[in-house]
């Protein structure tokens, strides 16, 4: 049985003992980060976000009525999940609300509790979601959530939990300790909790983890706290990759720097072995004091890199034989730390200070809402339009106007290198995608 962080017995007893909180119209994210004065609304700086509207589904054969009462009923469905889980599910559909600021935390929760004697919506809904996953997704001797919770409670939750998006996310979600293995330097890394780990860099080498499963399309996120202080020469990574000479790869690489100078976010993409598509950004926050969320969203239309929910880069699939796109190879999710002081910090000017070893990076809450690779047929199955393949819906064909504005802000203010502007490197024969829209 997968550990979901709460005991099954406690979940059952808690749900049977309490009723759902009444009238909870507001859904809120809480982030761990400080509120940055004058900063753009991101999940590290603004703590309130609204999830997309959940669809109203018919129950017990009754037609859903599109009137005010049914809409209000939909808004009363409370939602709770870790912030990184919500990032994975709704990576391209988060509505930022800079007018709402909440305290620190790492849960999404319904923020209005009318009766102080009612159970906290966080606790109630986490228990319900956990139990539904345990009973219906993992399976437990043929028992069902209906048997445990009763028809009335199940009906109240149907519009949320019957959603293929949530179920698909839960299907692939597991504790980091259960879902990854050390592919390199196991003696220099350690699992520090059920959902977090620490990777260390010594002069002898670094360390890396990889997901046990392989995927084709979906959303992949990790919360990372980078090496503090003098991190010159180090590279910390979160990326997707296949294997072999003509491999596919989608990279987040974090290039260390001397103390007092910020990290560089280095992004790249390989398709059928062809790379050289780097874009780099200065970081607009301190990535060493708090965990920050880094998400790779990948579907048949495009790849999107997001930092705390804010898109910084898009690489579009133009369906052009001259522009390779990763659309046929399974990839694992990987994370690592390694030494690259020949080039990583200011072109190799500053070397790794081994007196500071071990240099440590922390990782937690790996979330994958993605299509499992089961063989060659997955190329068709994972790209097809179906309720389970939420990433393939037309909604995710391109960024929204607000996301375009966010990405424009990040690129205007923090981009420091773009391969499409490096004419000398390519001898003025630029890659074809550089002449086409990427948004």
Q: What CA–CA distance (Å, rounded) separates 364 from 82?
A: 12
Q: Which residues contact 293 (CB under 8 A, 6 or more apart)?
A: 43, 44, 83, 84, 87, 221, 222, 223, 306, 307, 308, 309
Task: List the Cα angle 102/104/108 in 5-degree steps.
Answer: 70
Cβ–Cβ < 8 Å for 332, 241 = yes
Strands 332-339, 234-241: parallel, antiparallel or unpaired by DSSP? antiparallel
Q: In what order do the strands lie in the sheet with 196-201?
A: 189-193, 196-201, 359-372, 215-225, 292-298, 302-307, 310-316
Cβ–Cβ < 8 Å for 211, 222 = no
Residues in the chain: 439
Q: What CA–CA distance (Å, rounded) separates 43 from 33?
A: 8
* 47 closest CA partner among 31, 32, 26, 27: 31
Collapsing DSSP states into helix, strand and coil, what is residue 177?
A: helix
Of 134, 223, 253, 433, the catalytic one is 253
Q: What CA–CA distance (Å, rounded) separates 294 from 283?
A: 12
Of 118, 249, 278, 393, the catalytic one is 249
Q: What CA–CA distance (Å, rounded) separates 357 from 203?
A: 7
Cβ–Cβ < 8 Å for 197, 333 = no
The maximal CA–CA distance of the chain, rounded, in angstroms, is: 71
Collapsing DSSP states into helix, strand and coil, what is residue 170?
A: helix
**Is 259 among the catalytic positions?**
no
**Is 198 among the catalytic positions?**
no
- Distance from first CA to last CA of the chain, Å, rounded? 42
Strand boundaries in 226-255, DSSP class E: 234-241, 249-255
DSSP codes, 18-43: -PPPS----EEE--SSPPPTT----T
For 60, counting Cβ atoms within 10 Å of its Cβ (0-12 exposed, 13-18 middle, 19+ buried), the class is: exposed
* 96 closest CA partner among 45, 53, 55: 45
Mind telling me the catalytic residues?
A: 249, 253
């Amino acid at each position: 049985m997968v550990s979901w962080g709460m005991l099954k017995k406690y979940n059952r007893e808690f749900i049977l003992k309490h009723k759902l909180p009444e009238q909870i119209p507001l859904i809120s994210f809480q982030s761990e980060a400080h509120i940055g004065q004058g900063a753009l609304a991101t999940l590290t700086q603004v703590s309130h976000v609204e999830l997309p509207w959940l669809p109203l589904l018919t129950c017990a054969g009754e037609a859903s009525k599109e009137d005010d009462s049914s809409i209000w009923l939909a808004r009363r469905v409370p939602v709770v999940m870790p912030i990184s889980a919500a990032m994975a599910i709704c990576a391209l559909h988060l509505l930022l609300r800079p007018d709402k600021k909440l305290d620190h935390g790492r849960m999404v929760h319904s923020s209005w509790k009318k009766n102080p004697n009612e159970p906290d919506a966080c606790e109630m809904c986490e228990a319900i979601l956990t139990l539904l996953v345990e009973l219906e997704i993992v399976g437990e001797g043929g028992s069902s959530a209906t048997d445990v919770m009763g028809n009335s409670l199940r009906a109240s939750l149907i519009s949320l939990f019957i959603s293929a998006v949530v179920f698909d996310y839960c299907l692939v979600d597991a504790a980091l300790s259960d879902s990854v293995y050390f592919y390199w330097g196991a003696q220099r890394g350690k699992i520090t909790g059920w959902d977090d780990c620490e990777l260390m860099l010594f002069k002898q080498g670094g360390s890396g983890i990889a997901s046990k499963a392989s995927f084709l399309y979906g959303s992949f996120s990790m919360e990372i706290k980078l090496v503090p202080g003098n991190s010159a020469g180090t590279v910390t990574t979160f990326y997707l990759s296949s294997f072999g000479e003509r491999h596919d790869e989608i990279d987040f690489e974090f290039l260390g720097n001397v103390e007092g100078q910020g990290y560089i976010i280095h992004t790249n993409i390989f398709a059928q072995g062809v790379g050289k598509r780097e874009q780099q950004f200065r970081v607009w926050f301190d990535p060493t004091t708090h965990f920050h969320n880094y998400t790779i969203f990948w579907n048949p239309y495009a790849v999107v890199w997001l930092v705390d929910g804010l898109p910084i880069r898009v690489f579009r699939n133009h369906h052009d034989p001259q522009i390779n796109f990763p659309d046929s190879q399974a990839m694992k999710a990987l994370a690592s730390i390694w030494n690259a002081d020949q080039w990583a910090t200011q072109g190799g000017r500053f070397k790794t200070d081994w007196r500071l070893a071990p240099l440590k990076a922390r990782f937690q809450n790996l979330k994958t809402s993605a299509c499992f690779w089961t063989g060659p047929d997955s190329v068709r199955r994972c790209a097809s339009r179906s309720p389970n393949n939420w990433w393939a819906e037309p909604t995710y064909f391109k960024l929204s106007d607000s996301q375009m504005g966010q990405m424009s802000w990040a690129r205007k203010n923090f981009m420091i290198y773009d391969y499409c502007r490096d004419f000398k490197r390519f001898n003025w024969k630029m890659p074809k995608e550089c002449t086409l829209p990427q948004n």
